[in-house]
Structure 1
Amino acid sequence: MKLLLLRSFEFGLYLCTVLTVLQIIRTPSENNHRYAMTLRSFDKPIPETPQPPFPIVTDQYCTIVCGFGRGSSELGIPTANVAVEDLPPIVNKLDLGVYFGFAHLRPVLDRDVELVKRKDGQEVTYNYGKYLLEENGDFEVLPVVLSIGKNPFYGNNYKTVELHILHEFENNFYGAQVKFNLLGYIRPELNYTTVDALIHDINTDIGISKSTLAKPEYKRFERQVSDDSN
């Protein structure tokens, strides 16, 4: 068991709005490469290189925030939320659905560990990335799958942005900061009637992202989010 920054990566009507810290085994151990080879009827064509409006990159590092923390025990997919208002305006105009790109984390060194009360009244620990580990590769530019969507399953009608960073972290990082880009669109937000179908699609999304981001035409955009990009 490892302590991760978690929240259900629910790309559809199961989409939650927040993240929480839970003990859970890592990202589901499905064969993502196999899933990536499965073409679904709703998948969007991915070009050989990013096409407008991509790439889209955050103007600055965004704070990773918490909320209700619902549903993470069902899926076990680690995600981090960022506030929509912290992102470039074009992000709010994108179709709801699943995207991919690269992300880079950094700690907030001038903040002390503290307890923060979530909207549901539960307290969570904000360590501001204090326990991110260089030797674990936590500060490298990492591939990310992200969801832009709403959560009608829980009666919400506002938009959220969730990042699933494709990396195994040893510690949570509430309050840390993340800079990321969007390089392409995988599929629209969907409705699901079973958790199994949802998990299958999530793993397919992960597989598609990994295989696409490994291509030189996409991998070169790693530098957009690195500290030495300016």
Structure 2
Amino acid sequence: MSYNVQVGTGGYTGWKILERTMERQRDVFSQNYAVRSYKDYFSNKFPEVATAEQLVADYKLLTVALRAFGLESDINNRFFIRKILESDPDDRTSLVNRLADKRYLKLNQALAFHDTPDEREKKLEPLSIIEKFETRSFEKNIGERYTEIELALNAQREIAEIADLNISENAKWYQILASKPLRRIFEGAFGLGSSFASLPIDRQLSDMKHRTERLTGSDSVSQFSSSAALDSVLKRFLLLGQLNISSMSTRYTTALAILKS
């Protein structure tokens, strides 16, 4: 059974529709044959996997693992993912800790290939990985038509997690700036162009904090533990995105009318 999550015409209106219907639509989506097939395969095969090499050699297992952590675009970078999984998460100089994007570290820790077999068995939570896969699959289904809503759903989860971390506010901001999906939320909410990413990182941090304070009254990431503060950013991101699309459509319509005249 195939099912497309219903969000109207996307944008902020679609976001509000999804808020009202999320639980029901998640229940229906969970019966999707393709999603169930991947979940069942992972449940049956993953317990047999003992090394990172075995995991990356199995396309379906690797798809579930990468999608669960928002890294599915790396599905063809198998050598790189293997090195990530074999990296020591307790060594500050290891590859996985040198990467600014902490999704790779979460993947490494969840699959625990660097641990001894006994330690790994204690740490592994296959059901948690499967749940994350289903959540991301739901979001991906929407994102195939309305990328902005997929980004907002991801941000709702990921930013709240960063907000609760026991690290400095600047470190939290650097994690957001290092994540392509989260960066797109803030750059979109504040109408920042592609040139923003080319600024020195300290300048980016300063600008982002300043703009956030003007919008929410605080420049901290910790404030996003509250849904109200995060909702302000997501609403602005979705509305500005919708406005830009409408503006582009109007310009296209005008240009077409001129060409026809």
**Same fold (TM > 0.5):** no
Higher Rg? 2
What TM bracket, shorter-length normalisation? under 0.3
Normalising by structure 1, what TM-score? 0.25
Higher helix proportion: 2
The structure where strand makes up a greater share of residues is: 1
TM-score, with length taken from structure 2 = 0.23
